[in-house]
Amino acid sequence: MILVSACLAGIPCKYHGGDNLIPEVLALVEQGKAIAVCPEELGGLLTPREPVDIETGDGFQVLAGHGRCLCEGGREVTAEFVQGAEKVLQIALEKGITLAILKERSPSCGSSRIYNRVPSALPGVERRVVEGMGVTAALLNKNGIKVISEEQIDQGIFSKK
């Protein structure tokens, strides 16, 4: 059994209400080989919602209490991100999952790159992609679950019986 980001299975749970459908990931879910989760919705955030960035650092810093998850408008949603990550971990442990395929660049799911925010001289927020794991990816990783992104999928995973 594999854990996958729900948006990769075509579930419209991205912040703007869309998805990141990968037909092969949807097929894994439909065949009962994968479980689709959206940590942000599991943490209580609605869809659609404002985009969220990790203020500084990455998911490991957020889990250690040294980072914050902030909406584009500045509202803090760290608690929701941590709660969603904990619920995803609970599902993974209950199902004996050892591999997760999560959405790269997501502040929840990114496995090697995430959106981060930096102070800007202009009104608003300047976003950039930085190396690091999202909150859910970091928590899964800390608990021995291998996390990869949709960009790192070995195509052989789709042909396994």
Longest CA–CA separation in the chain, Å: 54
pLDDT over threshold 80, residue 155: no
The 8-class DSSP code of residue 105 comes to: B
pLDDT digits (tens, 9 = 90+) for 130-148: 899 999 999 999 999 999 9
How much is the pLDDT for 157? 63
- Over residues 22-43, mean pLDDT: 97
Q: Quick one: how many helices (H) and strands (E) in the chain? A: 5, 8
pLDDT at position 115 = 85
Query: pLDDT: is 161 or 6 the higher one?
Result: 6
Strand, helix or coil at 76? Answer: strand
Phi-psi region of 17 (alpha: psi -120 to 50; beta: other; left: phi over 0): left
Range 13-32 average pLDDT:
96
Q: What is the rounded distance in angstroms from the CA atom of residue 123 to the CA atom of residue 110?
A: 27
Condensed to tens digits (0 to 9), the pLDDT of residues 45-78 reads 999 999 999 987 899 999 999 999 998 888 999 9
Q: What is the pLDDT of residue 131?
A: 93
What is the pLDDT confidence band of residue 124, given thresholds at 50, 70 and 90?
A: low
d(C-alpha 52, C-alpha 30), whole Å: 29
CA separation, residue 141 to residues 48, 102, 147 (Å): 28, 12, 6
pLDDT tens string 78-91:
999 999 999 999 99
Mean pLDDT value across the chain = 91
Residue 10's pLDDT band (cuts 50, 70, 90): very high
Cα separation, 118 vs 25, in Å, equals 33
DSSP 110-138: -SSEEEEEE--SSSS-EEEEEES--HHHH
